[in-house]
Amino acid sequence: MPRAGFTAISSGKIKFGKDGLWYSDDEVIPNRAIRRLFSQALRVLPDGRGRLELGEDKADVLIEDTPWVVTAVEGSPTTGFTVVLNDETRERLDPASLRVGAENVLYCRVKDGAHEARFLRPAYYDLTRHLETDTGGEAVLAVAGRRIALRPPTA
């Protein structure tokens, strides 16, 4: 079937960076609408590889850290929190899924627990402003009556 000469996916190397930005041949894709489209079209294959699928166009994606990132956090310790992802979906945060990775990067489980998402700095600060320190000096997030300790990884 003839095509109109438009392809949504370039022939270059496509990467989703740990900074939450999309890259083509190591250059940031500046168009916000295209970045949103790519985030919404990203699929993670059973073997863990990333793949963009836009109609007939398909391309492998190098995922630098996680397939999705948390861009914002909404809610409160009383009612619980919702995370906003780069594909513009909102999901209830499962506080038990929080983990602190290398360099104190915060992660949580998303997409029905199937994937991890990295917190971008603004979202990290949205959530950590609600942290408390327990008597042992450990950082604790109190959410809906539960207390979740956020421990850095052990060396």
Report the domain count for the chain.
2
Instruction: Indicate whether 155 belongs to any domain.
Output: no
The answer on 75 and 139 residing in a single domain is: yes
Instruction: Indicate whether 75 belongs to any domain.
Output: yes
3-state secondary structure the chain: CCCCCCCCCCCCCEEECCCCCEEECCEECCCHHHHHHHHHHEEECCCCCEEEEECCEEEEEEECCCCEEEEEEEEECCCEEEEEECCCCEEECCHHHCEECHHHCEEEEECCCCEEEEECHHHHHHHHCCEEECCCCCEEEEECCEEEECCCCCC
The answer on 74 and 53 residing in a single domain is: no
Q: What is the pLDDT of residue 2?
A: 47
Q: What is the pLDDT of residue 79?
A: 93
The range of the structural domain enclosing residue 18 comes to 14-63
Residue 4, pLDDT > 60, answer no
Residue 5, pLDDT > 60, answer no
Residue 8, pLDDT > 60, answer no
The answer on 73 and 57 residing in a single domain is: no
Asked whether the whole model's pTM tops 0.95, one would answer no
The answer on 140 and 75 residing in a single domain is: yes
Summarize pLDDT for 80-130 with one digit per residue, the tens: 999 999 999 999 999 999 999 998 899 999 999 999 999 999 999 999 999
The answer on 137 and 105 residing in a single domain is: yes
The answer on 99 and 114 residing in a single domain is: yes
